[in-house]
Amino acid sequence: MQFQQLAYFVAVAEHRHFTRAAEQVRVAQPSLSQQIRALEHDLGAPLFHRIRGNVTLTEAGETLLPIARRILAETETAQRAIRELDELDRGRVRLGAPPSLCTGLLPAMLAAFRRRYPGIQLELHESGSGDLRQRLSEGALDLALLASAPADPHLAATPLLLEELVVIAPADAPIASTRLGIRDLADVPLVMFRRGYDVREATVNACRTAGFEPAFAIEGGEMDAVLELVRAGLGAAVVPSTVAGDRFSMTRFAPEAGMTRVVQLAVRREVDPTRAVRALRDAIVGFVADRKRLPVGLVSLVDSPAAG
């Protein structure tokens, strides 16, 4: 008995037709019939009634069908497991992340992952969450860290981090208050990110809700550029607390300002992830769990279940 013969037998049993079964398994119909006869000879019993073009299972065929399906399924499981072992040696993962996480959270995490899985090729795509959502939905990414929930039925997201947004200024700039309200930004020239950044949208929307338009000293920058422009004294900026570090004077918003963001790990729903992708996903979740040791109020775990 051969696996190929079992696959042919299951195809005929499901189609009740030799020609259609041969088309499914991509073999000539005479070859398929020959293999079925050889299987019947080996088993010592006919598997099909063949009467005037009608094909039905014999009692022996009915007995063999669930066993054959189980053998084929277990064979596929074994083959997939072997392939996945190879994926951890030579796999590839395309990860998208906003620049704030590329600056703060990801370097240490990816370094640890690389030490554990040196054979997995990592591709990091840095962009705003809006761009990343689209690229993930289109299949150009395997995973994406997003700073807002994906409004896409084809994506599923797991909340990971609750990050506080803060105001930064040059290190020698005086801080007028340890807690700011949104209205306090009305007279502050801001260094503003380019369109497509969730931090930009959150800041602008909060200001408009408070009844004013924010004043831009300069706009259109990426994360590194915004930080350098603030350090040069062009203005202040609203950024995630994890990128502020000790290079700037940092002022936090009052709790009622609601200036926070939830970082989520998103995947495509309809795609079964490879083992390499699952390994990186698990590494990110585990690394974030260890961030509980960070100072309270800067970064905290979101204990919500997976969204979607």
DSSP of 92-138: EEEEEE-HHHHHTTHHHHHHHHHHH-TTSEEEEEE--HHHHHHHHHT
The pLDDT score that the predictor gives to residue 182 is: 92
Residue 306 lies in a domain: no
Residue 293 lies in a domain: yes
The pLDDT score that the predictor gives to residue 105 is: 79
Mean pLDDT for 123-145 is: 88
Residue 307 lies in a domain: no
| Per-residue pLDDT tens digits for 187-203 | 889 999 988 788 898 89
Which residues form the domain of 177? Answer: 162-260
What type of residue sits at position 261?
R
Mean pLDDT for 180-185 is: 90
Number of structural domains (the chain) is 3
From 33, 65, 88, give the residue that closes a domain: 88
The pLDDT score that the predictor gives to residue 38 is: 93
- pLDDT at 76 exceeding the cut of 60: yes
Closest CA to 243 of 262, 217, 224, 219: 224
Mean pLDDT for 239-248 is: 80
- pLDDT at 306 exceeding the cut of 60: no
Is the same domain home to 83 and 62? Answer: yes
More confident residue, 253 or 174: 253
CATH number at residue 28: 1.10.10.10
Is the same domain home to 215 and 241? Answer: yes
The pLDDT score that the predictor gives to residue 1 is: 64
The rounded percent of the chain whose pLDDT value lies above 70 is 88
CATH number at residue 215: 3.40.190.290
Residue 308 lies in a domain: no
Whether the predicted model's global pTM rises above the 0.85 cut: no
What ranges make up the beta strands (E) of the chain?
48-51, 54-57, 92-97, 121-126, 143-146, 155-170, 179-180, 190-193, 216-221, 237-240, 248-253, 260-268, 299-301
pLDDT band at 172 (very low <50, low <70, confident <90, very high): confident
Of the candidate ranges 12-21, 106-115, 247-256, 257-266, the one whose mean pLDDT is the lowest:
247-256
Is the same domain home to 190 and 229? Answer: yes
pLDDT band at 99 (very low <50, low <70, confident <90, very high): confident
CA distances from 154 to 133, 151, 184, 267 (A): 10, 9, 40, 9
